[in-house]
Structure formats: structure tokens, C-alpha cells
Structure 1
Amino acid sequence: MAKNARIEELIAEGEVQGYHKGYLCRTRDPWYIVEKISVPDILIGPMGKETFRVVVNTVGATPTNTLYGLRLNRRRSGGITEEIGALASWLRSDSGQDAMRVAARSHHGDGLVKLEPGALKQVMVPWTVANLLMG
């Protein structure tokens, strides 16, 4: 159990509400601990009409399931690296946006397109950017 009285109250309240019986909570031990994820370098909004939002994660935010996060496997230590900036710039560029739109699917005929995680993995990054990423 948590060591903070307020946190313990919230956990007990959650149990009274039955949150611990929900699908995801049932699979966790303890039920109220969520998985730790690595902080991504770049955040991407997966839906848009004209553009997908692409932001360098300078504040170290951990996204919910409403944003996608990209984390470079090879990166220099500390701060915003040239590689992260180059990839984010390309993703925001006309050619990067076009590549993501091609990979995306139409969403309910309302003009929105949605980029699924698997489709994002298929976006081809140009060699000039990929070369920077591979160091």
C-alpha cells in the first residue's frame, strides 16, 4: 500500500468504486500501478485534417493514449539533439506530412485522417534524415 495518507484514501476510494475489477487494473499487481514508459523525444498527434502536430518533447512529458511518442534509440546525452530536431523538422515539413497522410486512414468521412501506430512505423524517412539518426 502507498505510504502517503491521501494516496491511500484515493486507492481505497477506487476500490469502493470497483476500479480494481476493471480489465486493465485486474492485470496489474498492485492494480493501481501503471506501467512505466520511456519519455519520448517527439510527440505526434495521430489525427488531423490538414496536418499532424509534431512537437519536440522539451518538457519530458509522458503521453496518454491520445498522442504517439517517438524515442530515438541512439541519441546523444542531454538536451535536444540535432537528430531529434532534424526528424521533427522533417515530420513537420510538407514531405513528412505527405508521408504520414499516405500512411494514415480516413476517419468516418469527416475529413479527418488517423495515423495508426503500425502505419507510423511504415513512414519512410529520407536518407538525409535517416543518416543523421544513425550517426
Structure 2
Amino acid sequence: MTTISLAYSPITVDDVDAAVEFYRDGLGLEIVNDVSYDGHRWASFGFAGQPGLALVVSDPTAGRSPEDGEALERLIVKGIGPGPYVFSTDDLDATFERLRASGAEVLQEPISQDWGARDCAFRDPAGNHIRINQA
């Protein structure tokens, strides 16, 4: 039987430096790669206990045509880009407080949802909708 796994998930941001602070310092992910190439930059973050999986943040035109990059950037700036991106943590309250202390925009404080999940929500510095569930 063939196995398949997710290798990376891209998140487009307008400021990679600000994204690094959010995902590294706020969410606590580890930078595993930080690359600049041809006027673009992307940073990859690893997840503890999930080797081989990475989150990659990059600017809108990295790997895209200028027209596509501009269209994507307009969506992200409005806060209606792809997403939400959903993360899971074993300590929602501590993760929430760490992100709030970092200055991240809070969309929803931790609550128990009607469908059973306990979660919270933020916007990353680019406006991407980030949800965090209690594992």
C-alpha cells in the first residue's frame, strides 16, 4: 500500500520578518530553513513530534507571476486570503496568552464550541486567520 503525507503547507504573508516573529515567538515553532532567492524570501518552520512537516511563509510573488502575486496580496491585506489555518496545541490557554502577549490581533478568546472543540483565533501580521484548537 502506498503511503502519503503532507510535506509542507504554504502561508502567504506581506512581511516575512513579522511572520517569523509570530510563528516562531508567538506560536513557538522552530525555524528549519530561511532562504532568500531572486529578491524573495521564505522561512520554513518545523513542528515538534511531526518530522518532515513544515509550514512555509513567503511573500505573495514568490513563485508566482507578478499579476497573481498582486491579486493574492490584495486578498491577504483585506484579511480574506486562504484559510483559516488551524493549529492544535495541548495547552490552549498558555498558547493564547503567549500570542496575546506578543501583540497578535485576537479574533476570539478561548471558548468551548457547540461542536465540541475548545479553540481561539488570531490574525497573523499579514491578516491570515489562524485558529488554534485544544488537542
Q: TM-score normalised by the shorter chain: which range applies?
A: under 0.3
Relative to its length, the structure with more helix (as a share) is 1
TM-score by length of 2: 0.25
With a CA cutoff of 8 Å and minimum separation of 6, indicate the structure with the bigger relative contact order: 2
Relative to its length, the structure with more strand (as a share) is 2
